[in-house]
């Protein structure tokens, strides 16, 4: 089950990273090494973990987060461990005829074949830079560009929803201005051509434009849990 949340404001608070018993850390490292052997493209880069979600007295949503690396997600494969989940952003990109863009993750990614909105796990800031809503919006715009070829200024994205999954995963979703369907296909085709020419594998191996939740079964493969409820909300919002 995925909870859909709205709020006037969003505040991010950094907390200490989780402490792991030595045996769980060793098991996590073994699980990560096995995952890398199966998929050498996996990268143990920095990532923000979601440590909690609440509301303050002013009804702002407060997201607690910790610094870690992608290796930490291998803890999900360790029996008895209770890992924190990811903090991620996504972009709902509508067309001017009311459909919404979704993409299928390529075989080189950690979730091959999975359908989702453009987006990804949040990376922690470097130096004295804060992790705040402008940073999330910038990251969302970057993910949209890297996965679909659509270059939309971060300032043009509007936060529409926050999702809270029963597994603790928190997603901050942004609504982009509508674009013609033909332009979305053209930009994606240009991105794939450029990536292929440079020897890179695109993060999405295909995109689709979905008009309603009833069309999701036509997308062969697994879907992220938040895809249907966010699409239902977006369908009402964009179609209204």
Segment 171-228, tens digit of pLDDT: 999 999 999 999 999 999 999 999 999 999 999 999 999 999 999 999 999 999 999 9
Average pLDDT over residues 77-97: 91
| pLDDT for 239 beyond 60 | no
Q: Identify the helix (H) or strand (E) that includes residue 173.
A: strand 170-175
**Residue 177's CATH number:** 3.90.79.10
The per-residue pLDDT for range 116-164, each reduced to its tens digit, is 999 999 999 988 899 999 999 999 999 999 999 999 999 999 999 999 9
Length of the chain counted residue by residue: 240
> In Å, how far from its chain's centre is CA 203?
12
The residue range of the domain holding 36 is 2-239
The per-residue pLDDT for range 1-46, each reduced to its tens digit, is 789 998 889 999 999 988 899 999 999 999 999 999 998 888 899 9
Distance CA 78, CA 75 (A): 5
Predicted pLDDT at 32: 95
| pLDDT for 240 beyond 80 | no
Residues 6+ apart with CB under 8 A from 117: 90, 91, 92, 93, 100, 101, 102, 103, 173, 224, 227, 230
Predicted pLDDT at 166: 82
Distance CA 194, CA 127 (A): 32
> Global pTM?
0.93
Distance CA 178, CA 141 (A): 14
**In the structure encoding, which two tokens stand for residue 209, read together?**
């434009």
Predicted pLDDT at 18: 83
| pLDDT for 238 beyond 80 | no
Distance CA 136, CA 142 (A): 10
Distance CA 86, CA 47 (A): 8
Predicted pLDDT at 171: 96
Domains: count for the chain: 1
Pairing of strands 115-116, 61-69: unpaired
């Amino acid at each position: 089950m995925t909870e859909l949340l709205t709020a006037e404001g969003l505040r991010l608070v950094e907390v200490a990273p989780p402490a792991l018993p030595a045996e769980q850390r060793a098991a996590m490292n073994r699980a990560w090494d096995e995952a890398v052997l199966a998929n050498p493209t996996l990268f143990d880069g920095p990532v923000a973990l979601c440590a909690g979600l609440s509301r303050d007295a002013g009804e702002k949503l407060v997201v607690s987060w910790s610094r870690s690396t992608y290796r930490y997600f291998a803890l999900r494969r360790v029996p008895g461990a209770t890992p924190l989940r990811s903090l991620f952003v996504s972009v709902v990109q509508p067309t001017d005829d009311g459909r919404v863009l979704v993409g299928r993750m390529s075989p080189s990614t950690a979730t091959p074949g999975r359908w989702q909105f453009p987006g990804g796990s949040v990376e922690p800031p470097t130096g004295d830079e804060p992790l705040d809503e402008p940073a999330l919006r910038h990251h969302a715009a970057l993910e949209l560009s890297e996965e679909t070829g659509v270059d939309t200024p971060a300032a043009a994205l509007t936060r529409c929803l926050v999702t809270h999954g029963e597994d603790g995963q928190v997603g901050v979703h942004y609504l982009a201005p509508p674009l013609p369907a033909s332009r979305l296909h053209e930009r994606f085709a240009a991105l794939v051509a450029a990536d292929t020419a440079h020897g890179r594998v695109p993060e999405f191996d295909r995109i689709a434009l979905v008009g309603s939740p009833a069309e999701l079964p036509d997308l062969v493969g697994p879907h992220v849990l938040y895809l249907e409820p966010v699409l239902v909300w977006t369908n009402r919002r964009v179609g209204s």
